[in-house]
Amino acid sequence: MPTASGANSSVYAIAESTYGTTPSTPAFEHVRQTGCSLVGNVDTAVSEEYVSRDVTDLLPGLIKVAGNLDVEHSYGSHDRQIQAVLGGTWARTASVTGTTYSCAATDNSISDSGNGFVTAGFRVGDPISVAGFTTSANNTTRATITTVAAGKMTFTGTYGDGIEDEAAGDSVTISSLTYRVKTGSTLRSDSIMRKFTDLSAFVLFSGCVYDKWDLKVSAPEGKPIVTGTFGILGRNVAWAEPASSTYGARTTTLPFTSIRGTLNIGGSSSTVVTEWGLSVANNSALQPFVGSQVTSQPVTTQLDVTGNFTVQFQSIADMQALIAGTTTSFDDELLDAAGNKLKIVIPRLAYSGAPLDVKGGGPIAQNLSFRALYDTTTACAIYIERTPVA
């Protein structure tokens, strides 16, 4: 009988419409991973009845499904897990539809007599798509905004050079190609399949919620690939493949690394961070009940977003900020080799620790711990954006 090899194991997931119930004829999505410890265990109860000095019975109790999914982050590969952890929903950062839009060739612009571009959320540098103009040159699948005001946006590149004059009146849709997910309260669950090809064995976990997400961005001279771990809690386990199961293909985008991208603290580019980490924890609580060996849907408590920076010690400002309780912001826009982007944004954070341990005569590194706080402007403590290269 063959021994299972990790190289021949794979992980798949599918969203559940009803908690704990795997959809019929499931079309599983491939989950890229570097390791998986998801397993089903059971509490046991030892009988205290005695008829001799020997234990008489060991009885099964509550089923507990738990484990971690280790990943290398790449564009579009773990969107469902990130969305589930945050409890939000991926949505375009800006989109408008109406008949108030006109085009001008002189300055490569689209104008809105309703003055709604800024309110809708369009930003300089955002890629957008345009559809609905009668003049085909004014429609595009991708253009980059160079300036934006309430009533006008201008563009650059091939699309900008090709804009033609056109009056308002057509029903036009202008949409950002950037999607954002932020913290929310939507509860989601997956059925997760662990497939062991060399044994033709299947382990199906239902009622799986993504309770935690740890992210690590290390210095290029170490391991530059951006890694993460999703903590999972589940309801039940089965050892059979559902009828008519199908399995999606693996995404092929390259992993993000710390070599490419832009990191900002307080709105300014930082060159002192040598590595940083993030932990998003839902602190879900299992809900067992009398008459069942499995739990009901876990209850999430207050979301806790914490992390740390390792920095080259060049200033006492961070220690002063800790003592004063001063808040700042943070974002890191990760860029893969093809140009796809994943941006992690904490609009408001406070330092919770700033130790300064000096050992030896070399460069001094300082580890700054932080906690993300609710920001009234963005109405969240953290959000993630993704933008495709094309």
Q: Show the domains of the chain with their CATH numbers.
A: 6-42+59-90+182-387 (no CATH), 94-177 (2.40.30)
Would you give per-residue pLDDT tens digits along the chain (390 residues)? 678 777 888 999 999 999 999 999 999 999 999 999 999 999 999 999 988 889 999 999 999 999 999 999 999 999 999 999 999 999 999 999 999 999 999 999 999 999 999 999 999 999 999 999 999 999 999 999 999 999 999 998 778 778 999 999 999 999 999 999 999 999 999 999 999 988 888 999 999 999 999 999 988 777 899 999 999 999 999 999 999 999 999 999 999 999 999 999 999 888 888 899 999 999 998 888 999 899 888 888 889 999 999 888 888 888 888 888 899 999 999 999 999 999 999 999 999 998 888 888 888 888 899 999 999 999 999 999 999 997
Per DSSP, the residues of 130-188 read EE--SSGGG-EEEEEEEEEETTEEEEEHHHHHH---B-S-S-EEEEES-EEEE------
H or E segment and range at residue 274: strand 273-281
**What pLDDT, on a 0 to 100 scale, did the predictor assign at position 179?**
98
- What's this model's pTM, rounded to 2 decimal places? 0.92
The 3-class secondary structure across 28-85, one letter per residue, is EEEECCCEECCEEEEEEEECCCCCCCCCCCEEEEEEEEEEEEEEECECCCCHHHHHHH
Given a contact cutoff of 8 angstroms between Cβ atoms, the answer to whether 256 and 74 are in contact is yes
147 with 125: CB under 8 angstroms? no
Quote the pLDDT of residue 33. Answer: 97
pLDDT at res. 242: 94
Residue 154 token pair: 């201008």
How far, in Å, CA of 85 to CA of 37, rounded?
18
pLDDT confidence of residue 219: 82
Residue 323 three-state SS = helix
